[in-house]
């Protein structure tokens, strides 16, 4: 296997690990955001509204974080493959 192919394999493996770490961080952040508002008192006028808003905001942020993580992973993979394409090592 050529050096470029080894670089591509390493880049893809690193991108996968980075995405996995980002997914874990996104979920931990979502849970922390919700937990920060979980002390609401049922029946208290603004308690549930604040909790509900925090949960919705946390879910939206997690979705954005997951999209960003996957986009970054794909960009790394495509750039690694472009190196091989530019060297004529792979046709696709």
Note the pTM of the prediction, 2 decimals.
0.80
The CA distance from 3 to 16, in Å, is 20
> Which stretches of 37-82 are assigned E, i.e. beta strand?
none
3-state secondary structure of 16: helix
Residue 54 lies in a domain: yes
CB atoms within 10 A of CB 69: 19
User: Model confidence over 56-78: pLDDT tens digits?
Assistant: 999 999 999 999 999 999 999 99
- Residue 92 in any domain: the answer is no
Judge whether 20 lies within some domain.
yes
Q: State the total domains in the chain.
A: 1
Question: What range does the domain containing 73 cover?
Answer: 3-86
- CA 34 to mean position of chain CA atoms: 19
Per-residue pLDDT band for 92 (boundaries 50, 70, 90) equals low
């Amino acid at each position: 296997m050529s050096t470029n192919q080894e670089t591509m394999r390493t880049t893809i493996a690193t991108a996968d690990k980075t995405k996995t770490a980002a997914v874990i961080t996104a979920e931990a952040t979502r849970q922390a955001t919700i937990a920060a508002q979980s002390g609401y008192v049922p029946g208290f006028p603004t308690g549930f509204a604040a909790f509900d808003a925090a949960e919705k905001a946390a879910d939206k942020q997690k979705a954005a974080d997951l999209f960003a993580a996957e986009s970054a992973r794909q960009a790394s993979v495509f750039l690694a493959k472009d190196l091989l394409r530019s060297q004529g090592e792979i046709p696709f």
